[in-house]
Chain A
């Protein structure tokens, strides 16, 4: 029986995962089980990874969300959760980070596109969530404000474009 469970969230392209997976497996070794969470449409494409012991299917389309966590995941205690990100700011990956708050784990790590791994605390994720909330409110307000003008320009360009 293996000593631990590592969950990798497929939050980046398959091509980048090709590069990061050997780095992850080198760090955590062969004595753990590797789980990979991925969207339904890419399940076939990740079957090629021989180091992955179990593929967990995320059945909803779109971004990973706290509202659509697969039930089987909630039952498992993961010793480590690994989230591939573009860089350590976590910009654009907050939904994945927030999702991990609802999973049973004590260790959350992010790995950037260069293959560098860093631990991230639940406190850091909560602070990022606060900024997410503030930016979202501002963005919604500005979207409502600018959209009518944008659609007006688009409508004019659509009507008067020369085919």
Chain B
């Protein structure tokens, strides 16, 4: 049976992570490697893993480097398939087997987007509705709280963009995977539960990175004609929503994206036109999800 490496990025969510690890281990899967990359948590996460989960590989990072830390875990992983999870998400029993089956059924599948669902605060999974369909469908992106990545594809196209820190990293990786000729499939019924927590979205960090990185997605991948209109649209939205929400955060994010645009331009690449055309980028999302 193929080997799967689960790579989890943790940052100050000790209890949620412990709960997720216990659930995953309770499935009794063989040929499974679990790697936790800890972004310098200060809540005792590292001690908890060391004491309670001695078989889990812990990679300690001495400062919070955002999603770039995932790449360290993905590089160390020895599995044929990598399962990316958040520290507050966990797969349902049977999900990993479904993911392996999907990968083995088609070697052009680069990413398996799992069926990520919110778990309510009481941990009750029963409130979710049944899935009426089991057909896989082709996607242009995935939810980083639960996704499978073929190790060989990671080695070919790389992982998450180091310069992003947070947000839009999935879209960046998706574009490179699709551009390399691989597919992204959504696997309904292969469920990953995510302890969705809106309180984490109230800080200024969210809208800043969400806005800045969307500019960088445009700078890195958009062809000239689409580049122009998308940048103008983003400038307009940054100004409009700064007025509407009486905040300067979007203008700051825009200024940072322009000031440091060389970071994105260094990675600028030619992307097949149909990929950019099919991308579902909701520009306005950056300005509404945190408010």
Contact = CB atoms under 8 A, between A and B. Distances in A.
A154 B264 CA distance: 11
B182 interface: no
B155 interface: no
Contacts of A158: 261, 265, 268
Given A47-B133, A91-B244, A161-B262, A15 B196 contact: yes
A129 B4 CA distance: 52
A61 B129 CA distance: 27
Interface string A45-79: 10111110000000001110000000000000000
A85 B118 CA distance: 17
A161 B265 contact: yes
A8 B129 CA distance: 16
B287 A92 contact: yes
Contact of B196 (A19, A49, A138, A142): A19
Contacts of A135: 240, 243-244
Given A92-B287, A154-B258, A161-B265, A15 B239 contact: no
B198 A157 contact: no
A85 B198 CA distance: 13
Contact of B291 (A92, A138, A146, A151): A92
Contacts of A150: 231, 235, 258
A23 B284 CA distance: 25
B129 A50 contact: yes
Interface string B266-290: 1010000000000010101001111
B223 interface: no
A86 B291 CA distance: 5
A154 B288 CA distance: 26
A158 B289 CA distance: 30
B16 interface: no
Contact of A91 (B130, B143, B241, B261): B241
Interface in B108-134: 115-118, 120, 127-133
Q: Which 7 A-B pairs have the closest CB atoms?
A: A92-B288, A139-B240, A161-B265, A50-B129, A18-B118, A139-B239, A161-B262
Interface of A: 12-13, 15-16, 18-19, 21-22, 41, 44-45, 47-51, 61-63, 85-87, 89, 91-93, 113-114, 131-132, 135-136, 138-140, 142-143, 146-147, 150-151, 153-154, 157-158, 160-163
13 contacts: A15-B118, A18-B196, A45-B188, A47-B132, A47-B133, A136-B240, A139-B239, A139-B240, A146-B239, A151-B231, A157-B261, A161-B262, A163-B266
